Homo-oligomer: A and B are copies of this chain.
Amino acid sequence: MSASASQLDATFAALADPTRRALLARLEHKDNQSVSTLAQPFAMSLPAVMKHLDILDDAGLIRRAKVGRTVTCTLVAKPMEDAMAWLARYERFWTQQFDRLAAYLDSEQDRPAAKRRRKKPAKPNRT
């Protein structure tokens, strides 16, 4: 169930803007809000917010449904889960960086890392 590369592209690109992250955060706090309600707190024009919603929609992070003249947006978190799954690969790496620093400080010989030759501080390595 891994996401395609272009799907990850769209997801990360969508998340790279503070306005869009704020929009998602608003939906996370309260789902099913109209476009104008979502746009209200932002210091920019409605068309500008619309473009952000378009990008979120294209990335599959929200879904829009029109009822009468109002359009309500709902959060679709699945692509974020895929993004998180991609990032999870590096979890072992950042937890090990403490160890690597310790190993480096301990022995002046800097081998190409990746393998600690020192005792671990007994950190349970969960997935």
Range class of the A interface residue count = 35 or more
Q: How many copies does the complex hold?
A: 2
Any B CB within 8 A of the CB of A15: yes
User: Within 8 Å CB of A16, what residues of B?
Assistant: 8-9, 12-13, 16
Closest chain-B Cβ to A123's Cβ sits at a distance in Å of 7
Closest chain-B Cβ to A43's Cβ sits at a distance in Å of 15
Closest chain-B Cβ to A80's Cβ sits at a distance in Å of 5
Interface centre among A28, A78, A94 (most CB of B within 10 A): A94
Given contact pairs A13-B13, A15-B12, A87 touches B87 in the complex (Cβ within 8 A): yes
Closest chain-B Cβ to A67's Cβ sits at a distance in Å of 11
